[in-house]
Amino acid sequence: MTANRPQPRPGVLDIAPYVPGKSSAPGVAKVYKLSSNETPLGPSPKAKAAYAAAGQHLEDYPDGASTALREAIGRRFGLDPARIVCGAGSDDILNLIARAFLADGDEAIHTTHGFLVYPIATLGTGAKPVVAAEKNFTADVDTILAAVTPRTKVVFLANPNNPTGTYIPFDEVKRLRRDLPAHVLLVLDAAYAEYVSRNDYESGLELVATTDNTVMCRTFSKIYGLAALRLGWLYGPEHIVDALNRIRGPFNVNAPAIAAGIAAMEDTAHVEHARAFNEQWLAWLTTELEKLGLKVTPSVGNFLLIHFPTAKGKTAAEANDFLMQRGLILRQVTGYHLPHALRMSVGTEEANKLTVAALREFLGRTA
């Protein structure tokens, strides 16, 4: 039977569109946006200056290979620039991976509360997303391995994971790689790696360097504060980088983003300040929220997953409405199968203290 209008490929209409965190609260004079894991410190002043300078030449196409940025990343991390691919945010990179390595009928694994782009990218290629159950809101290597079938081509692993804030030790990541079939590509999404200070954590650079079936993705949106510019990168084996470069857009990274990214990465003092600020307030928020009787999943990122009671009057949805009325915007995570939780980004000192005070009022507690 012939359709009477163009039809999308199978899988596209199964996609639930990605819904970003809210950024406004109608009727509220001052808003504190704690819904998108943005750094409260903003980007490096040097990145702002580089962006402004690049803005003087908007008539020129950017370097299609992002050469200067790849070389800067290579210097910063001791990597071969030829094995780096840059993109318009790490989600651009994730979609490139799906397009290059998934086809109709293939399968790609992600964990229960993994980044929503994983199933979106998978379904967009006609492949099937397969969910591996987590344990205690944390990826579980044995569960992932049990989900592998002959159709599995990609495993997406966010480490640390958003929105849970949990991670798995590097020894477990290496075990996952060792026990996966050789033809399965392991994608390590390390968007929050710069925030992690645990001794048993590594972003995956070593694993990429020593295997030919692993890649690692990073972003400039979080600790570097360049979310508005959409900038990310991947480090991978030469043959995978070659495949991705064949399908990526010829100018997929804009010139101001390239300039700002280089300057942001080279301002190590600003990055260290952001890391120290986050450690201080992540710990403070965890302690204060737990004092209110709320369960908080231990996080190594720049955000917290806060669990609310299911009793009427105390639910996550009601807490969200209460906070919104006060201009405090947290992230509802129902789309991540967490209807009884809210995710809170670490904000400014003022925003952090106001949120705790508002939740104390919501829960009927006294100071």
For 84, the token pair is 């780096």
Residue located via tokens 């903003």: 42
In this prediction, residue 343 carries a pLDDT of: 98
Options 3.40.50.2000, 1.10.10.1100, 3.40.640.10, 3.30.565.10; CATH of 45-266: 3.40.640.10
Distance CA 314, CA 301 (A): 26
Please check whether residue 194 is in contact with residue 39, taking contact to mean a CB–CB distance below 8 angstroms. Answer: no
Distance CA 21, CA 266 (A): 29
In this prediction, residue 7 carries a pLDDT of: 80
| Superfamily of chain region 19-42+269-362 | Aspartate Aminotransferase, domain 1 (3.90.1150.10)
In this prediction, residue 1 carries a pLDDT of: 61
Please check whether residue 330 is in contact with residue 32, taking contact to mean a CB–CB distance below 8 angstroms. Answer: no
In this structure, the chain runs to a length of 367
Sheet holding 107-111, edge to edge: 84-87, 232-235, 214-219, 185-189, 152-158, 107-111, 128-132
The residue ranges of the chain whose pLDDT is under 70 are 1, 18, 21-25, 365-367
User: How much is the pTM?
Assistant: 0.93
In this prediction, residue 9 carries a pLDDT of: 80
- DSSP per-residue codes, 10-72: TTGGGPPPP-PPP---TT-SS-EE-SS---TT-S-HHHHHHHHHHGGGTTSPPPTT-HHHHHH
In this prediction, residue 173 carries a pLDDT of: 98
Strand partners, 35: none
Other residues' Cβ atoms within 10 Å of the Cβ of residue 309 = 16
What one-character DSSP code corresponds to residue 153?
E
Strand partners, 343: 305, 331
Ranges of each domain in the chain: 19-42+269-362, 45-266
In this prediction, residue 8 carries a pLDDT of: 79
Distances (CA, A) of 40 to 84, 201, 274, 303, 344: 29, 24, 8, 12, 12
Per-residue pLDDT tens for 339-357? 999 999 999 999 999 999 9
Per-residue pLDDT tens for 281-315? 999 999 999 999 999 999 999 999 999 999 888 99
Distance CA 220, CA 267 (A): 13
Distance CA 28, CA 225 (A): 25
In this prediction, residue 211 carries a pLDDT of: 97
Residue located via tokens 């996966």: 180
Distance CA 10, CA 19 (A): 22
What does DSSP say about strands 128-132 and 107-111: parallel, antiparallel, or unpaired?
Answer: parallel
